[in-house]
A and B are shown apart, each in its own frame.
Chain A
């Protein structure tokens, strides 16, 4: 795979940047080249946040993504903004708990999933983007479930390893939407 690019977008505080980093760690675990580039600016909690993540089997050219293979959206403004930045035929995964309309483009694939509702069932809103990671990984094969789980064991300090099973549950709940 060469320069498989993903944009994660939503409100600040939803765990957008962390989810992007977790995806990058999972791909890094597989030995891929990765880059993670956040939006940065004078923002605050509740403002918009996004990051671009690129996976590749070769050295990565631009870490800045103009034409994404996947866009993961957790709010309405992000969907409207980033649907323009998808390649034809690319995939948008959107949180239908929070986004009530759908993209206007007809040349892209859309998976609408109730990510925030699932996260709420699991006890924490921060699981919403994790469910969407599960959906993305399953739908595109950009990294495996196993790599995701193992990378969590590697990057998280041991005192937080007890949280990994519930993260994996969130991942699996999202994966179901890819089928």
Chain B
């Protein structure tokens, strides 16, 4: 049963959700705009008998995550873009060693030290690798504080189920805003046995080894093929998206997280002008909802797609793979930490509707 709704900040909800999901190990290093995650953890982890460490660096924190995960514990770290870049080596090792971990990236504007305002420039990094080697992370992009809560809990289940990193991607809008959240009395925590965990022999005749080093190419190839098989299962089972107003849609917006929130208002404003706009909002950025996009591209009513992002056009590559040339794909993006005004997006919709712009973006 859901409890009474309380007003909470996105970052604090991430921490609360993790604790509710049974996470008793948090290692991090402060960075705006996600520091409230750490702040909340510092206060609450002690109360539930868990471990909180403000590590000496992001690199140290992700390696602590590796250690706790290898010992079979639910564990999380959080950071923002430059910090997540530092964690990539560890995330690759976690993939190689097949460990379950939850990593949160409250994205800021880059590249480099960049700025601290909302951005989505880490889409490529999150979905196409980030670290070295052939690996994947499950990447989840919540759009509201309530959804953030539910999906952080789910991230721990998915990480355990597939023994891989589940990454939550948001930005300063989601992390800093307060919205009502209704916590459940009991969380749907799926307890999965971890017979592989390296937590002492405990009377067994052998010890467990957690490693990502396989010197023999044949052994490493086999290991890689096993990973690829696992990723195929994730692709088949874990795609999540929300289809909004798609019936008879003429123009389909594709947008995730913050951009989907701004676009919701635009859909309503376009309807007032007599333009039917729908939206496909990917909730999992990997695995990506290619099929939903492809089916939308097949709809006779759909004339075009408009991809809206806080970057120079990253998810649009996946949207185009889904559309596969069947319909034109337009783009609207903002950079540097700026958010698009609703009117900017609406103007673009009107221009597309009237056939007044050529395919491509605003850059």
Set A24, A33, A64: member contacting B178, Cβ < 8 A: A24
Residues on A with beta carbons closer than 8 Å to the beta carbon of B343: 66
* From B32, B180, B261, B264, contact of A40 by CB (8 A): B32
Is there contact, CB below 8 Å, between A37 and B173? yes
Chain B 330-363 residues near chain A, CB threshold 8 A: 339, 341-343
What are 17 A-B contacts defined by CB distance under 8 Å? A28-B5, A28-B180, A33-B180, A34-B179, A34-B180, A37-B173, A37-B176, A37-B178, A60-B179, A60-B261, A61-B261, A61-B265, A63-B177, A63-B261, A64-B258, A64-B262, A66-B342
Q: Does residue B116 face the partner (Cβ distance < 8 Å to A)?
A: yes
Does B117 lie within 8 Å of A41, measured CB to CB?
A: yes
Q: Which residue of chain B lies nearest to A36 when distances are taken between CB atoms in the complex?
A: B178
Question: Across chains A and B, which 4 residue pairs bring their CB atoms closest together, nearest first?
Answer: A61-B264, A61-B265, A36-B178, A37-B177
CA distance A58 to B90 in the complex (A): 42
By a CB distance below 8 angstroms, the chain B residues around A24 are: 7, 178
Q: Is B327 an interface residue (CB 8 A)?
A: no
Taking CB atoms and an 8 Å cut-off, the chain B residues in 203-231 that contact chain A are none
A138 at the binding interface (Cβ < 8 Å):
no
Measured between beta carbons, the chain A residues less than 8 angstroms from B178 are 21, 24, 35-37
* Per-residue contact bits, chain B 157-184, to A (CB 8 Å; 1 contact, 0 not): 0000000000000001100111110000
Closest chain B residue to A41, Cβ basis = B116
A155 smallest CB distance to B (angstroms)? 8
Most interface-central of B180, B261, B263, B339 (chain A CB within 10 A): B180
List residues of chain A with CB within 8 A of the CB of B262.
61-62, 64
Using a CB-CB cutoff of 8 Å, which residues 38-56 of chain A contact chain B? 38, 40-42
Q: Which residues of A contact B258 (CB under 8 A)?
A: 64
User: Is there contact, CB below 8 Å, between A66 and B341?
Assistant: yes
- The docked-state distance in angstroms from the alpha carbon of A163 to that of B87 is 47
> Per a CB cutoff under 8 Å, which of A28, A37, A63 touches B7?
A28
Q: Mark A10-41, 1 if CB is under 8 A from B, else 0.
A: 00000000000100110010000111111011
Per-residue 0/1 for B85-121: is the Cβ within 8 Å of any A Cβ (1 yes, 0 no)?
0000000000000000000000000000000110000
B268 at the interface (CB under 8 A from A): yes
Whether A40 touches B341, Cβ cut-off 8 Å, given contacts A35-B179, A64-B262, is no
A34 CA / B261 CA spacing, docked (Å): 14
A107 CB to closest chain B CB (Å) equals 17
Cα(A11)–Cα(B80), bound, Å: 27
Complex CA–CA separation, A62 to B173 (angstroms): 10
Identify the A interface with B (CB < 8 A).
3, 21, 24-25, 28, 33-38, 40-42, 59-64, 66, 155
Given contacts A59-B144, A64-B262, 5 further A-B contacts (CB under 8 A): A28-B180, A40-B33, A42-B116, A64-B261, A66-B343
Q: How far is the CB of A38 from chain B (nearest CB, A)?
A: 6
Q: Which residues of A contact B144 (CB under 8 A)?
A: 59
The closest CB in chain A to the CB of B174 belongs to: A63
Most A Cβ at <10 Å: residue of B32, B33, B172, B179: B179
| Given A34-B7, A40-B116, A41-B117: A61 and B177 interface contact (C-beta under 8 Å) | no
CB 8 Å contact bits of B1-29 with A (1 = contact, 0 = none): 00001010000000000000000000000
Complex: A37 Cα to B117 Cα, angstroms: 13
Cβ contacts under 8 Å, A66 to chain B = 341-343
Q: Knowing A34-B7, A36-B178, A66-B342 are in contact, say whether A61-B268 is a contact too (CB < 8 A).
A: yes
CA–CA, A40 and B172, complex, Å = 8
Q: Specify which chain A residues have a CB less than 8 angstroms from the CB of B179 in the assembled complex.
A: 34-36, 60, 63
